[in-house]
Amino acid sequence: MYVDWANHGICGRGVLLDLVSYFEKKNGSLPYDPWQTYGITVPMLEEIAKAQGVEFRTGDVLLLRVGFMRKYMSEYTKQGQRDELAEKPETFAGIEQSEDMKRFLW
């Protein structure tokens, strides 16, 4: 059966894991550059969720704060700089591509 989500929408509980706050509190800084390829692992997500008191439930929508916008707002203050970003390759921090991650998200 085909379901057109655009016409029907979806609903779920949003769960935000704030990696920026977690790592800055724990290490003083991020262990990665948000604009470079970096695989966030399942154990990392579980550790951060536990530290933030988050319990996952079926149907949750996972949101991650990895630091992209903070870097964008602090390092690209002029429109010309922001326009140049369109020419850069898209390499960013995000969830790892693994069987463990697929099982976790499922």
Looking at the domain assignment, is residue 68 inside a domain? yes
Asked whether the predicted pLDDT for residue 103 surpasses 60, the reply is: yes
Looking at the domain assignment, is residue 36 inside a domain? yes
**Cα(11)–Cα(60) distance, rounded to whole angstroms?**
9
Q: What is the pTM of this model?
A: 0.81
pLDDT value for 46: 97
Looking at the domain assignment, is residue 2 inside a domain? no
pLDDT value for 1: 56
Asked whether the predicted pLDDT for residue 84 surpasses 80, the reply is: yes
* CA distances to 14, 54, 79, 103 from 11, in Å: 9, 19, 36, 21
What's the gap between Cα 65 and its chain centre?
A: 5
Looking at the domain assignment, is residue 1 inside a domain? no
Render pLDDT for 20-70 as a digit per residue (tens, 0 to 9).
999 999 999 999 999 899 999 999 999 999 999 999 999 899 999 999 999
- Tell me which H or E stretch contains 65: strand 61-65
Total domain count for the chain? 1
Looking at the domain assignment, is residue 3 inside a domain? no
**Cα(106)–Cα(101) distance, rounded to whole angstroms?**
8
With bands split at pLDDT 50, 70 and 90, how would you rate the model's confidence at 7?
confident
